[in-house]
Amino acid sequence: MKLLHIIAAYKPAYVYGGPTMSVARLCEQLVKGGQRIHVYTTTANGAEELNVMHNTPVQVDDVVVTYFKRITKDHTHFSPALLWALWKNVQRYDAVHVHAWWNLVSVLSCLIALVRGVPVFVSPRGTLSPYTFQNKNNRIKEVVHHLLGKPLLNRSHMHATSNREAAALSNLLSPKSITTVPNFVKLGAVIQPGKAEISRPVKLIFLSRIEEKKGLETLFDALTKVTVPYRLTIAGDGKREYVDMLKALAAHRNIAQYIDWAGFITDSKFDLLRQHDLFVLISYDENFANAVIESLSVGTAVLISQEVGLAEYVKGHQLGWLCERNAGSVSASLNEIALDKTADLLKIRATAPLIIRKDFDEAPLTKLYTDLYTQHLIKE
C-alpha cells in the first residue's frame, strides 16, 4: 500500500509530546513492514520553527517526510503549501491517514482528500473527547464540529488507541468504522535484577508534558494530605507561565521542598523511571498515555486516574492502581500504596516488563495496523 500520513507536527518537534512520537513510531514500523509511507507535516515546533528543508522529501529514520512552512505560529498550523501539495498529489495514494484534529492541517486535509475521492483514516489522538469540547473555545468547537467536522468524520474511518477513546467516538459520530489499535511505544531495556526494594521516602514521578489537563494541581493538593515521607520528580516541560504558577502553588502548599523539577527528559527517561517507585498521572483526559507503558516497561508501577485511556489495561493486568480525580482519593491511594502495597510494587517491578513486551510487541501491532487499512480499503 501507498499511504500518506498527515500530522501538523512531526519529529523532531518533541515539544508536542506523545502524539508526535507515536505517529513517528507508527510510520517507521509500517515502513519496516513493507508499506510505502510518506508524511506531510509542517515546520511547527512550538513557538519556533524546525530547522529543516521545506517542500522537499527527506528521509527521517527511513520514513519519507516533507515539511511545509506554516504561516500561523499557533495551534492552527495553517500551511497553504501543504494543502496545495495535497490537492495536487493526494490521488497518488491508496489512503490518507490524518492524525489529531482541531487544527487547519488536519481538518482541511481531511476535506481535500474526501473531495478528491481518496479514503481517509483519522486518529483523533484525544482531540475528540468530551473534555476537549468542555475545555477551551467550547462554543466555537461545537459550531465548527456540527457544520464541518462531523460531516467529514462521518465519511472517514476512525482509529482509536483505547476502548475509552472508541466509546467517546461512538457517542459523538457515526463514521464508516471505528477500530481500536494501541500506540507503538518505545520501551526501556529490561535490566535484571532491577531495583530490589522500595525507597524511603517513597519516590514518585510524573513524566509528561506539563499542561492543565494533566492534573498536577490536584496532585499537589493531594500531597498536602500524604502522611508518608515522599519525594516527587516532575519530568517534562510546558508553557513557562503555567510551570511558574505550579511552582508558586507548591510553595503556597508548603510542599516545594519535596519536589524536584527535572525539566524535559529524552534519552535518559527510562533510567529515571527505573529509579522511582511509582509513576503518577491524575489526568482529566488521556486517550492512551504513552508514559504509562514506558514506566511499566522498566517495572515502575503506576497510579492513574480513571480518565486515562489505559486505566482498563492497568486494572485488568494488575500493573498499578486507579483513583478518582480528586485530592482525597489521590492522597488515600498514595498513603495506602506506600504503607501496605510494598509486595505489590515489587511484584509489578518483576513482572511488568515482560507483560508489556508481550502486549506491545512491534510485529503483531504492525499487522493490526496493516489490517486496519486493508480490511476497510477492500470495502471502498
Q: How many domains does the chain have?
A: 2
pLDDT of residue 36: 98
Q: Say yes or no: 167 and 210 in one domain.
A: no
Q: Is residue 353 part of a domain?
A: yes
Q: Quick one: 208 and 115 in the same domain?
A: no
Q: What's the confidence (pLDDT) of residue 294?
A: 96
This prediction's pTM: 0.93
In a domain, 37, yes or no: yes
CB 160 within 8 Å of CB 180: yes
Q: Which residues of the chain have pLDDT under 50?
A: none
For residues 375 and 345, state if they share a domain: no
Does one domain contain both 117 and 217? no
The answer to whether residue 191 is domain-embedded is no
* Structural domain range at position 80: 2-184+361-379
What span, in angstroms and rounded, lies between the C-alpha atoms of 187 and 139?
Answer: 39
- The number of beta carbons lying within 10 Å of the beta carbon of residue 316 is 8
Tell me, yes or no, whether 351 and 334 share the same domain. Answer: yes
Which pLDDT score, from 0 to 100, does residue 112 have?
98
Q: What is the CATH number of the domain that holds 85?
A: 3.40.50.2000
The per-residue pLDDT for 196 is 65
Q: Is residue 374 part of a domain?
A: yes
Three cell numbers written together for 236: 517534562
Same-domain check for residues 371 and 341: no
pLDDT score of 75: 87
